[in-house]
Amino acid sequence: MKPRRPYLLRALHEWITDSGDTPHIVVDTTMEGVEVPRQYVKDGKIVLNVSMNATQMLKLGNDVVSFEARFGGLGYAVSVPVRAVLGIYARETGQGMIFADGDADPDPTGAPPVAPPPAAAPKPAGARRPKLQVVK
């Protein structure tokens, strides 16, 4: 299967925009291929306004998010590999999504993702512990 991150990114961008809010993406600038104005990077990350009003020629592709924007009055061409996008959220409400590492690329072995163990819930007195086993 194809990576789901670009599809989720486009869907959330549309949802945030249709809701009348301003979509922002959080980018890991330490990843290869990230082209952003470095003077605005803090702790290896940058938050970018990806609204239609703040960008020109915005493209939310399967591999790259690209656009032109002004930073401090100067124009920049921004290019971010989709795998470097850590999340997208609405500035006004904070609603959005942080992407898990598994959203970036499918497992090349084709194995299904392993779910994290559930949080431990309090056990009623006399309850037996459930037994899980791997099914192949």
Q: What is the pLDDT along the chain (136 residues), one digit of tens a residue?
A: 899 999 999 999 999 999 999 999 999 999 999 999 999 999 999 999 999 999 999 999 999 999 999 999 999 999 999 999 999 999 999 999 999 875 554 444 444 444 444 554 454 555 566 666 677 6
Asked whether residue 118 is assigned to any structural domain, the reply reads no
Residue with tokens 């997208």: 88
Say how many domains are in the chain: 1
CATH number of the domain at 20, please. Answer: 2.30.30.220
Is-contact 61 7, C-beta < 8 A? no
Residue 93: the pLDDT is 95
User: CB neighbours (10 Å) of residue 65?
Assistant: 25
d(CA 26, CA 87): 5
In 3D space, the residue among 49, 121, 126, 32 whose CA is nearest the CA of residue 89 turns out to be 49
In 3D space, the residue among 134, 25, 31 whose CA is nearest the CA of residue 88 turns out to be 25
Extended beta strands in the chain, E state: 23-28, 45-49, 56-60, 64-71, 74-81, 85-90, 96-98
Residue 102: the pLDDT is 54
Asked whether residue 114 is assigned to any structural domain, the reply reads no
Asked whether residue 94 is assigned to any structural domain, the reply reads yes
d(CA 23, CA 135): 41
Asked whether residue 132 is assigned to any structural domain, the reply reads no
Asked whether residue 117 is assigned to any structural domain, the reply reads no
Instruction: Give this prediction's pTM.
Output: 0.74
**Residue 29, C-beta contacts closer than 8 angstroms, at least 6 positions apart:** 36, 38, 41, 44, 45, 46, 84
Asked whether residue 112 is assigned to any structural domain, the reply reads no
Residue 129: the pLDDT is 61
Please give the residue range of the domain that contains residue 27: 5-101
Residue 126: the pLDDT is 56
Residue 124: the pLDDT is 53
Residue 135: the pLDDT is 73
Asked whether residue 110 is assigned to any structural domain, the reply reads no
Asked whether residue 77 is assigned to any structural domain, the reply reads yes
Residue 1: the pLDDT is 87
Residue 5 is encoded by which pair of tokens? Answer: 């991150």
**Residue 47, C-beta contacts closer than 8 angstroms, at least 6 positions apart:** 24, 25, 26, 27
